[in-house]
């Protein structure tokens, strides 16, 4: 084994990797993992976090790597659910906020542009929050080049951040207004040990500090800046979620800007439309062409219109084509052709140019607004957390920002307050509204030792809570991350649509050019089509000249085509579906999980903690020999109260719940490890199994044999009670069913699912539980490590349609093996990384909700894709045939995108709760 001293001398290079180990549930487990890793050459530091099931390993990349580290942990007998931080040396991450990236079509253009850069390792896009995450080799490219590539697309980059690097800290220093100030701050920070890099940005007063590890702490960094004479307004680690106010205010800013751009274009366009009606149907207006040209100029070339043309130009010079290219080509030629009317008498198209641009800007605004409704759930989550916390420090109560909380802080939570962060109640009792986590409106009772979640509401009573998780590790942060991952994920059915949208705009331009040439050359041969259409389409003019017909057809094709409808079909449905799930405590990790879950044919349920409560409970009391049930339970509870055995405590708790007072016991002792005895009220009481009481020649046992056999056949653990050598009765204990298990399994059957129970219990006990809830198949006496093989056998039997439901900790390997892994019921303690779906509450009915939600969401995706394909396949040929006026075309284009978004929002009306 390499000594710590040797390790510290093994070189200055150090990287970190974080492993998610669901089975690491005690200090004993963590110790085994540490010992195993410390035997591996090149390991510098190992830290375990039991609450998050995470192992943070610092290592020398020249002597070991993440694969060896993972393999070492697995050889120690622990499943590794996920590994993060495996980026090769020199690889960094960058997160860009791109407000204009509103559909998968836009995302595809940005990806194409970025992929042309050398050194790009991975690109992830999420249109719900307009973020692009780029992994890149810092030796081959940099932040400026990446930002420039996106802007050349043309998409505005609102902000750039260094991604979620554990060693990064961001400070906001309002007084840092010059490079001189920045230099002073850098000098102060460089004196701290462990600082690797410092970047300052005086325009937004931000300082980014990269540490070699977790030291120096954020408090030490803040103090160093303050010692330099500068106030620190806020400080956050690189892993923390973006401030809710910043996220929401940014969305509101871009929505307001879209609204302003529309109205600046709409006012002149409305005037143009009024003048056109007067000029055509009332009286010719002198200087009409001059007036409308002046009015149309700001619509086409200023503010909103100019942004469209710049976007189109940069997109074309970047060899990519976005929606703005079509609008620019559809509005500029009509305006320019309209100016020809000053020197050559011809039909003016100026009105058309202004109308096309205005309706396009209206569509942009309505899309942003509708997508805001579609992603309402994630925005709601971002605003749920508390902003401040009352903490007890040095005997005083003070209010601090939630961002300044540290693990171990004692928080004081008053009635009506939000709990600032995840923690454990250390003093006081109350009821907590956990509806934001579980979807259940009934407050949950909490007392010392109870776990509570940040952002839940204290309904009554003053409590003290010790913080156990802060920042990015909190339950709310994990949920936000999970929902964002789902909204940014891909659905397999989407791949075909992506291939089409990637080539959509160039194909439309070719069709528009072809339409122009064909109408210009063969207008007379095509006039019968126009004569037929003029009978029911008032805008069709068969007498127009070939050049007018060619222009109308080409422009109509350009403005009616809508790649955005295709690009919005899947993401908007995922936004709404994942948001609905989050509100109900059903967290779906990815679009792939949604598509797979809808086809599930078999659900495998772990028994303990899934079907049952996972803890023994008094179920029945049988009396005999003239005794009452109360007599039997009173004496049994008095004796068992002196025992620490879980079954004994279940009997005592059951007696208390039934209002029975617990008497004192004397001369208590264990009997041959098969029972207990003691004196209660001066009388000798013996409790044990049938064999033990038989050895003591207890009378009247035969009368209880029938009841005893019946209880054991139903999976109960039954003990006999005797008083002074005479049988009194039986007390039965069992791992009781959850209240909703029968209802949930019935609902699964109603969905056509086959339900299988897997357990380590003996077959008789397992079948007894299965019979109570109508399980179809029982797999008994299966050890935890054998569950993976059982899942594999079921998959071989029925195909890739098996879902596994377990507690997400001991069942992690089986959850990963199943086609869909569903972790249930552990709330903040659940090993989210091990599952495809996480159910926050312990209710089995949530499994049914998850299946129904997947079916409803996937159904909307299919509907959206069908509509988007159908619209474009029908609309473009109609436009090419000259039967569609461009003004009608641009309205139809806007309507197609809004229809897709609106259909996704209708998903909220779906009933996913089980039928009762």
* Greatest Cα pair distance in the chain: 123
Cα–Cα distance for residue pair 431/415, rounded to 1 Å: 10
Residues whose CB is less than 8 angstroms from the CB of residue 371 and which lie 6 or more positions away in sequence, other chains included: 102, 128, 568, 572, 575, 901
Beta carbons within 10 angstroms of residue 217's beta carbon: 14
| Cβ atoms of 732 and 621 closer than 8 Å | yes
Sole residue written with tokens 């009772």: 445
For residue 509 the two structure tokens come to 């331009």
| DSSP strands (E only) in 205-321 | 206-211, 234-237
| Cβ atoms of 577 and 594 closer than 8 Å | yes
Q: Identify which of 83, 81, 77, 22 has the alpha carbon closest to the alpha carbon of residue 57.
A: 83
Beta bridge partners of 45: 58
- 836 noted as active-site residue: no
Q: Chain-centre distance of CA 324, in angstroms?
A: 31
Write out the H or E segment, with its range, that includes residue 898: helix 886-905
For residue 731 the two structure tokens come to 């007390």
Write out the H or E segment, with its range, that includes residue 784: none
Selecting among 606, 761, 807, 811, the annotated active-site residue is 606
For residue 57 the two structure tokens come to 């390993």
Does the CA dihedral 701-704-708-709 come out positive or negative? positive
Cα–Cα distance for residue pair 872/652, rounded to 1 Å: 71
Cα–Cα distance for residue pair 112/150, rounded to 1 Å: 10
* End-to-end Cα spacing for the chain: 61
| Cβ atoms of 802 and 790 closer than 8 Å | no
Compute CA distances 407 → 30, 411, 743, 872, whole Å.
19, 11, 40, 56
Cα–Cα distance for residue pair 687/723, rounded to 1 Å: 9
- Phi first, then psi: give them for residue 423, nearest 5 degrees: -170, -170
Cα–Cα distance for residue pair 726/793, rounded to 1 Å: 52
Sole residue written with tokens 């008497």: 663
Please, what is the angle between helix 350-374 and helix 288-301, to 10°?
30
| Cβ atoms of 680 and 641 closer than 8 Å | no
DSSP 55: E
Helix/strand/coil (H, E, C) string of 119-173? Answer: CEEEEEEECCCCEEEEEEECCCCCHHHHHHHHHCCCCCCCEEECCCCCCEEEEEC
Q: Helices in 537-607 by DSSP H: which ranges?
A: 546-560, 563-583, 591-597
The catalytic residue positions are: 606
């Amino acid at each position: 084994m390499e000594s710590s001293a040797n390790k510290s001398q093994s070189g200055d290079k150090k990287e970190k990797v974080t492993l998610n180990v669901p089975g690491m549930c005690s200090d004993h487990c963590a110790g085994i993992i540490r010992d195993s890793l410390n035997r591996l050459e090149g390991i510098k530091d190992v830290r375990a976090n039991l609450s998050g099931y995470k192992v943070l390993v610092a290592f020398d990349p020249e002597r070991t790597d993440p694969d060896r580290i993972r393999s070492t942990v697995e050889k120690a007998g622990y499943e590794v659910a996920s590994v993060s931080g495996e980026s090769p040396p020199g690889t960094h991450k960058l997160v860009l906020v791109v407000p204009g990236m509103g559909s998968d079509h836009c995302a595809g253009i940005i990806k194409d542009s970025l992929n042309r850069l050398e050194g790009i390792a991975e690109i992830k896009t999420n249109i719900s929050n307009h973020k692009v995450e780029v992994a890149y080799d810092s030796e081959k490219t940099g932040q400026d080049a990446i930002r420039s590539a996106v802007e050349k697309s043309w998409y505005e980059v609102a902000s750039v951040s260094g991604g979620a690097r554990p060693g990064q800290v961001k400070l906001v220093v309002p007084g840092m207004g010059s490079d001189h100030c920045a230099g002073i701050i850098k000098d102060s920070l460089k004196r701290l040990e462990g600082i690797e890099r410092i970047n300052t940005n005086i325009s937004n007063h931000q300082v980014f500090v990269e540490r070699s590890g977790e030291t120096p702490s954020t408090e030490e960094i803040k103090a160093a800046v303050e010692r330099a004479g500068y106030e620190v307004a806020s400080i956050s680690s690189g892993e923390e979620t973006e401030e809710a106010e910043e996220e929401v205010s940014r969305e509101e800013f871009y929505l307001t800007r879209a609204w302003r751009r529309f109205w600046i274009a709409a006012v002149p366009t409305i005037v143009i439309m009024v003048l056109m009606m007067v000029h055509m149907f009332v009286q010719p207006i002198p200087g009409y062409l001059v007036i409308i040209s002046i009015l149309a100029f700001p619509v086409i070339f200023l503010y909103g219109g100019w942004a469209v043309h710049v976007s189109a130009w940069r997109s074309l010079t970047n060899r990519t084509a976005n929606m703005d290219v079509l609008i620019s080509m559809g509005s500029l030629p009509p305006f320019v052709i309209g100016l020809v009317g000053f020197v050559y008498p011809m039909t003016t198209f100026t009105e058309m140019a202004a109308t096309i641009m205005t309706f396009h800007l209206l569509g942009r605004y309505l899309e942003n607004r509708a997508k805001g409704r579609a992603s309402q759930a994630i925005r709601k989550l971002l605003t749920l957390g508390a902003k401040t916390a009352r903490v007890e420090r040095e005997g005083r109560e003070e209010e601090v920002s939630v961002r300044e909380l540290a693990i171990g802080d004692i928080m004081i939570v008053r009635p009506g307050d939000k709990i600032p962060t995840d923690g454990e109640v250390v003093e006081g009792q109350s009821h907590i509204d956990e509806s934001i986590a579980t979807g259940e409106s009934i407050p949950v009772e909490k007392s010392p030792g109870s776990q509570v979640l940040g952002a839940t509401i204290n309904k009554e009573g003053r409590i003290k809570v010790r913080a156990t998780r802060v920042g990015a590790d909190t339950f709310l942060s994990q949920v936000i991350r999970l929902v964002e991952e789902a909204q940014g994920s891909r659905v397999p059915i989407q791949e075909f649509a992506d291939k089409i949208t990637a080539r959509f705009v160039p194909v439309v331009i070719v069709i528009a050019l072809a339409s122009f040439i064909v109408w210009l050359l063969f207008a007379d041969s095509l006039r019968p089509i126009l004569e037929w259409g003029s009978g029911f389409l008032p805008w069709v003019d068969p007498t127009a000249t070939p050049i007018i017909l060619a222009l109308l057809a080409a422009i109509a094709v350009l403005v009616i085509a809508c790649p955005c409808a295709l690009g919005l079909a899947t993401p908007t449905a995922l936004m709404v579906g994942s948001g609905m799930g989050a509100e109900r405590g059903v967290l779906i990790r990815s679009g792939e999980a949604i598509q797979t879950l809808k086809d599930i044919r078999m659900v495998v349920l772990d028994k303990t903690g899934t079907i049952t409560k996972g803890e023994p409970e008094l179920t029945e009391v049988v009396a005999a020999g003239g005794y009452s049930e109360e007599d039997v339970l009173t004496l049994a509870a008095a004796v068992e109260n002196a025992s620490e055995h879980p079954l004994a405590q279940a009997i005592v708790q059951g007696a208390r719940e039934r209002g029975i007072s617990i008497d004192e016991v004397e001369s208590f002792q264990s009997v041959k490890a098969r029972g207990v005895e003691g004196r209660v009220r001066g009388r000798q009481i013996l409790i044990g199994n049938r064999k033990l009481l038989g050895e003591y020649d207890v009378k009247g046992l035969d009368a209880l044999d029938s009841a005893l056999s019946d209880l054991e056949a139903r999976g109960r653990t039954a003990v006999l009670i005797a008083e002074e050598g005479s049988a009194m009765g039986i007390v039965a204990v069992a791992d009781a069913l959850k209240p909703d298990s029968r209802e949930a399994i019935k609902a699964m059957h109603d969905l056509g699912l086959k339900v299988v129970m897997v357990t380590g219990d003996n077959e008789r006990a397992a079948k007894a539980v299965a019979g109570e809830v109508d399980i179809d198949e029982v797999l008994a006496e299966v050890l935890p490590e054998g569950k993976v093989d059982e899942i594999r056998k079921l998959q071989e039997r029925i195909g890739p349609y098996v879902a596994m439901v377990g507690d997400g900790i001991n069942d992690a390997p089986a959850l990963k093996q199943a086609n869909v892994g569903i972790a249930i019921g552990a709330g903040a303690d659940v090993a989210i990384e091990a599952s495809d779906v996480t159910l926050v509450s312990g209710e089995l009915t949530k499994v049914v909700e998850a299946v129904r939600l997947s079916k409803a969401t996937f159904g909307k995706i299919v509907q959206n894709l069908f509509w988007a394909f159908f619209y474009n396949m029908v609309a473009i040929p109609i436009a090419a045939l000259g039967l569609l006026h461009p003004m009608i075309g641009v309205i139809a284009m806007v309507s197609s995108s809004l229809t897709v978004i609106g259909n996704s929002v209708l998903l909220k009306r779906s009933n996913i709760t089980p039928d009762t």
